[in-house]
Amino acid sequence: MWTTVFVSGITLGSFYTLVALGFALIFGVTHTFNLAHGELIVLAGYVAYWLWKTYGVSFLFTFPAAVLVALTVCLLLQRLFSRLKEPLELNSIVMSFGVAILLQNGMLFFFSGDYRLIRVPTFNQGLHFKTLYLSYGQLTLLALSLVVIGLLYLLMRHTYLGKALRATIQDREAAALAGINVSGMGLLAFAIGAILIGLAGPLYGSVHYLYPAAGLQATLLAITITIFSGVGRIRGLILGGWILGFAESGAVVLLGASWRELVGAVMLITLLALRPQGILEREK
């Protein structure tokens, strides 16, 4: 039983890290909270579902379309976010809450309120290693999440662009003084965030049911993992994702599936209560 918890904890946790990456990057660079993050992931999931269901596009080929849609919406959103006035964090929360409502109602209009799932037939088969069982669905989720996280890690750590992004996350004024185009970095963060959202969307649609209001759960877990790790730490995000993944899998086994939603919420409130000054203050 505990090997099941371990396997699902690691796969879910890695996927949660992928879900949180875009949110953490946008927040770190622009200091705005995007509460519509989960809705964007669900939207990307719907795009994949729609292509897969109506045109029979194979699961892997839905990713480019999902990324394209996420990119378009996120770049429009970036225009809105760049107009916000101080206090940036609070105003971005209120505005993106409005964006979330807009997106939910748009999805309700185009895709109706029915629950949808991308059912890839091979995902239910799997590999047995003695007591350990790994389905192809879990394997895909784990592999794709880790590859994307690894690529982002390489981008942030080993390229000049990544260095500029990290500098902006650490200190915006000093970065600007060093000649980094800070507002350009904000645009870039939204673009990279959108690619991450577009990649997370179809995966989300293959493990969770898609419905217009499903985004809140994804948003909450992105916030939880981001607050856990602090900004600008990909390794911290992986740790946060795994802890949340293990905690949720453990709660499902011990208490039942219906208590799963509580885990992320309790973890977020506890983290906030322990670190009341927020996560940006600590950096300074």
Partner 1 sequence: MQTKGTTRQQAIQQQIAWAAPTLGLVLLLLLPAFARYNDYVLQVFTHALLLATLALAWNILGVSGSISLGHAAFFGAGAYTSALLSLDLGISPWATIPLGGVLAAGIAAIMGLFCLRLRGAYFALATLAFVEIPKVITDNWDGLTRGSLGLVGLPGLPSLQLGSYHFDLSASLVGSYYFVLAYGLVLLGLVTFVFRSNLGLALQAIREEEVAAEAVGIQVQRYRLLSLLLSAFFSGITGACYGHLIRYLEPGLVYGLHFSAIPMIFAICGGRFTILGPALAALVLYPVDQFIFHPLLPAGHEFLYGAVIILAILFMPSGVWGQVRKAHFVSIKTGSVE
Which residue, among 107, 75, 77, 76, has the nearest Cα to 92 in the 3D structure?
A: 77
The residue from 60, 76, 102, 132 that contacts partner 1 (CB under 8 A) is 102
Closest distance to partner 1 from the beta carbon of 248 (Å): 13
Task: List the interface residues with partner 1, window 105-134 (CB under 8 A).
Answer: 105-106, 108-109, 112-113
Q: Which region among 118-126, 181-189, 201-209, 222-230 touches partner 1 (by CB under 8 A)?
A: 222-230
Answer yes or no whether residue 82 interacts with partner 1 by CB under 8 A.
no
Residue 69 in tokens: 């849609």
CB-wise, 201 or 264, nearer to partner 1? 264
| Alpha carbon distance 20, 43 (integer Å) | 16
Burial class (CB in 10 A: 0-12, 13-18, 19+), 107: buried
Which residue, among 153, 132, 196, has the nearest Cα to 4 in the 3D structure?
A: 132
Which string of x and - marks every residue 149-188 that binds partner 1 (by CB under 8 A)? ----------------------------------------
- What backbone phi and psi angles, to 5 degrees, belong to 16? -60, -35
The residue from 195, 223, 234, 237 that contacts partner 1 (CB under 8 A) is 223
25 to 22, 127, 234, 238, 261: CA distances (angstroms): 5, 35, 9, 14, 24
The residue from 68, 213, 239, 247 that contacts partner 1 (CB under 8 A) is 213
Answer yes or no whether residue 100 interacts with partner 1 by CB under 8 A.
yes
Answer yes or no whether residue 258 interacts with partner 1 by CB under 8 A.
yes
Answer yes or no whether residue 83 interacts with partner 1 by CB under 8 A.
yes
Q: Decide if 123 contacts 137 (C-beta within 8 A).
A: yes
Over the Cα atoms of the chain, what is R_g? 18
Answer yes or no whether residue 276 interacts with partner 1 by CB under 8 A.
yes
Closest distance to partner 1 from the beta carbon of 93 (Å): 5
CB-wise, 112 or 181, nearer to partner 1? 112
The residue from 87, 126, 150, 184 that contacts partner 1 (CB under 8 A) is 87
Answer yes or no whether residue 93 interacts with partner 1 by CB under 8 A.
yes
Please, which residues bridge with residue 210 across strands? 116
CB-wise, 173 or 281, nearer to partner 1? 281
| Alpha carbon distance 77, 23 (integer Å) | 13
Q: Is 156 helix (H, G, I), strand (E, B) or coil?
A: helix
Answer yes or no whether residue 97 interacts with partner 1 by CB under 8 A.
yes
Long-range contacts of 268-271 (CB under 8 A, 24+ apart): 268/220, 268/223, 268/224, 268/227, 271/224, 271/227, 271/228
Binding residues for partner 1, rule: CB under 8 A, are: 33, 35, 80, 83-85, 87, 89-95, 97-106, 108-109, 112-113, 213, 216, 220, 223-224, 227, 256, 258-259, 261-262, 264-266, 268-270, 272-273, 276, 278
